[in-house]
Chains A and B, each alone.
Chain A
Amino acid sequence: MRVALVEDQALLREGIVALLREQGIEVVAQAEDAQSFLSAVGAHHPDVAIVDVRLPPTFTDEGLRAALEARRRHPGLGVLVLSQYVEPAYTTELLEVGSGGVGYLLKERVAEVRTFVDAVERVAEGGTVLDREVVSTLVRGSEPAGSETGIGSLTPKEREVLELMAEGRTNAGIAKAMVVTQGAVEKHISSIFGKLDLPQGGDDHRRVLAVLTYLRATSEG
């Protein structure tokens, strides 16, 4: 797998590069700003681009815009966005543009080496990976006090499963993360799908999108 990385802070950039190399992932290009990142992607054709949201010169959302641009220019390119804070609106924008794998993670997830590498691989394969915080932010927001149906009715365990689902994990992956059996996970999932009135489905990517579609629909009306 070949990865391009854009991160303006040298400390983090070098750390992420070292981490990926240790895990056997090839880093073909590194950049410090959006412009050189876009030309590096054009030149090296990586499988996945890892992009920091805040980049020079204004340190606002240059990285996100560069990621969207890269997705437009290179259909099929996997894009994994790293952000200092969770903004569900950014997720929506990423999912709306282009094809190929897409991921949106809090920056600190790079410290959970296995989770991070797993996410990079799943984005490379065309999957969708969202930070569990994205789901919990949307869930918090869309939870009217004391509601008995929909999101508000999920148990804490079910919510955890939902967050792990949004991360793009398989049932086996969720079971491992929660240290429960796969059968228990399947029970939780069918209960969630029932409560949220979502169609059953095996495809991981579709599961994530189904969850998100539901969350967005409830939060945006």
Chain B
Amino acid sequence: MIAEQAFASAVSRHREAALSLLVPATAVAGFACTVIWAGTGFGSYWPIWVWFAGLVPISLFWILPRVTEEQEGRRLALAVHAGLTAWVIAILVMIWIAAGGGPFWPLVTIVVLIAAVVLHAVILRRAEDRGEHELEERVVELTRTRRGALDVQAEELRRIERDLHDGAQARLVALSMQLGRAEERLADRPEDRELVRAAREEAGAAIAELRDLARGIAPPVLADRGLGPALEALAGRSAIPVDVEIDAGERLAPAIETVAYFVAAEALTNAAKHAGTPATLRVSRHGDVLRLVVADDGPGGADPAGSGLSGLRGRVEAVDGELTIESPTGGGTTVTAELPCE
């Protein structure tokens, strides 16, 4: 196989130079011999063997680059094999014709050569089928493990959110509560009391920061209640009236819930910012696809390449979902996310 590839590439590489030498040389030699043949009183047209000798290499340089074009790997090997076979057969037939015909002696050789090419093609086909099958299995496996990894990651983020709330934040609340109680006991010492109050307010600021951090990591209501209630709460907080219809069934995989939530959040934020008109939020299940649609009657013309929307696309594609944005100028904006869910 490697030899065939090397041969094919050598032929392709030297093609121009070889043809520019061989074609005129053959033409001159053939013509000269024909003149000599005419000058010696005609007879059997022997210069045909001169033409033949020139055409053999020329035809090789002509055939091979054509059959090997855009082929690679095992298919290139097969193409070289088939090309050479066709060339050899053509030469054999030419010799047979030039030698004056008679019984077709190249027959057995031609049959054997063609059989070899067919065999080669069958073997190649089998190998490719096997390769395709292995590739399919690999894709299925990779899809599954990637989803698994994303679910683990989403689950992990929720755990971190919970740990922040129930761990660090709870301790800070306990701390600031102790400070609050100390503050009460220092009623008769205003200076000390002020100091303790400042400390309590610091702790309060730390708690608020921690809460914002936790919310950014994973929306707590999503972790606590699932997609439907979280989306309803989201719609309830939106700056524009949102008509909500959600039929998401039971709890979905964490990664899918998170992606659906962020798509809805971003789309509703955009609708409030750019459209300002009432919007609709629809979530429905179609077999193993979860479809989420956010639509508004605003001015449209959203840029799908904008950072918000392209960020969403990245999130959706990471779970093998599909995000479509229809936003004709003057025709409102519809954001549709289709997410796989088993």
- Physical interaction between A and B: yes
A111-B165 in contact given A220-B236, A220-B241 (Cβ < 8 Å):
no
Interface bits A128-158 vs B (CB < 8 Å: 1, else 0): 0000000001101111110000000000000
Interface assignment of A184: CB less than 8 Å from any CB of chain B:
no
CB contact between A9 and one of B170, B229, B240 (< 8 Å): that residue: B170
Q: Which of A60, A61, A85, A110 sits near B180, CB closer than 8 Å?
A: A110
Is A172 in contact with chain B by the CB < 8 A criterion? no
Contact residues on A (Cβ < 8 Å of other chain), bracket: 35 or more
Give the distance to chain B from A118, nearest Cβ to Cβ, in Å: 13
The residues of A that contact B172 with a CB separation of less than 8 Å are: 108
Residues from chain B with Cβ under 8 Å of A87 in the complex: 220-221, 233
Contact between chains at B224 and A112 (CB < 8 Å): no
In the bound assembly, the distance between CA atoms of A18 and B203 in angstroms comes to: 20
B132 at the A interface (CB under 8 A) = no
**Segment among B98-106, B207-215, B318-326 that sits at the interface with chain A:** B207-215
**Bound Cα distance A113, B174 (Å):** 12
> Scoring B residues 187 to 211 as 1 if CB is less than 8 Å from chain A, else 0, what string do you get?
0000000000000100110011001
- By a CB distance below 8 angstroms, the chain A residues around B181 are 15, 18-19, 22, 113
Instruction: Report the minimal beta-carbon distance from B216 to chain A, rounded to whole angstroms.
Output: 12
B204 touching A59 by the CB < 8 A rule?
no
Q: A84-B220, A88-B233, A89-B232 are in contact. Are A11 and B240 (CB under 8 A)?
A: no
Given contacts A141-B239, A145-B273, whether A84 and B221 have CB atoms under 8 Å apart is no
Contact for B165 among A22, A85, A92, A137, CB less than 8 A:
A85
For A142, what are the chain B residues with a Cβ–Cβ distance below 8 Å?
A: 237, 239
Cβ of A107 under 8 Å from chain B: yes
Say yes or no: B203 contacts A111, CB within 8 Å.
yes
CB distance from A143 to the nearest CB of B (A): 6
Nearest residue (CB) in A for B181 is A19
Is the beta-carbon distance between A144 and B236 smaller than 8 angstroms? no
Question: Does B170 contact A221, Cβ atoms closer than 8 Å?
Answer: no
Query: Which residues of the other chain, B, contact A95 by a CB distance below 8 angstroms?
Result: none
The secondary structure that dominates the A interface is: helix
Please, which residue of chain A has its CB at the minimum distance from the CB of B176? Answer: A111
Convert B228-265 into 0s and 1s, putting 1 for each residue whose CB lies closer than 8 angstroms to a CB of A: 01001101111111110000000000000000000000
> What bracket does the count of chain B residues touching chain A fall in?
35 or more
Cβ distance B186 to chain A, nearest Cβ, rounded Å: 12
Taking a contact as CB atoms closer than 8 A, the residue among B177, B207, B232, B278 that contacts A16 in the complex is B177
Bound state CA distance, A16 and B200, in angstroms?
16
Q: Which of A93-127 contact B (CB under 8 A)?
A: 107-108, 110-114, 116
Provide the residues of chain B in CB contact with A59, threshold 8 Å: 162, 166
Q: Convert B276-293 into 0s and 1s, putting 1 for each residue whose CB lies closer than 8 angstroms to a CB of A.
A: 101000000000000000
The 29 sampled A-B contact pairs (Cβ below 8 Å) are A9-B174, A11-B170, A12-B173, A15-B177, A18-B181, A19-B177, A19-B181, A22-B181, A60-B225, A61-B225, A84-B211, A85-B211, A85-B215, A88-B237, A89-B221, A89-B232, A89-B233, A108-B208, A111-B176, A111-B203, A113-B184, A116-B180, A141-B236, A141-B237, A141-B239, A142-B239, A216-B236, A219-B236, A221-B278
Residues of A near any B CB (own CB < 8 A): 9, 11-12, 15-16, 18-19, 22-23, 53-54, 59-61, 84-85, 87-89, 92, 107-108, 110-114, 116, 137-138, 140-145, 216, 219-221
Having A107-B169, A221-B240, one finds 16 other A-B pairs with CB under 8 Å, namely A12-B177, A15-B177, A19-B180, A23-B184, A59-B166, A85-B221, A87-B233, A88-B237, A107-B173, A108-B172, A140-B237, A141-B236, A142-B239, A219-B236, A219-B237, A221-B241
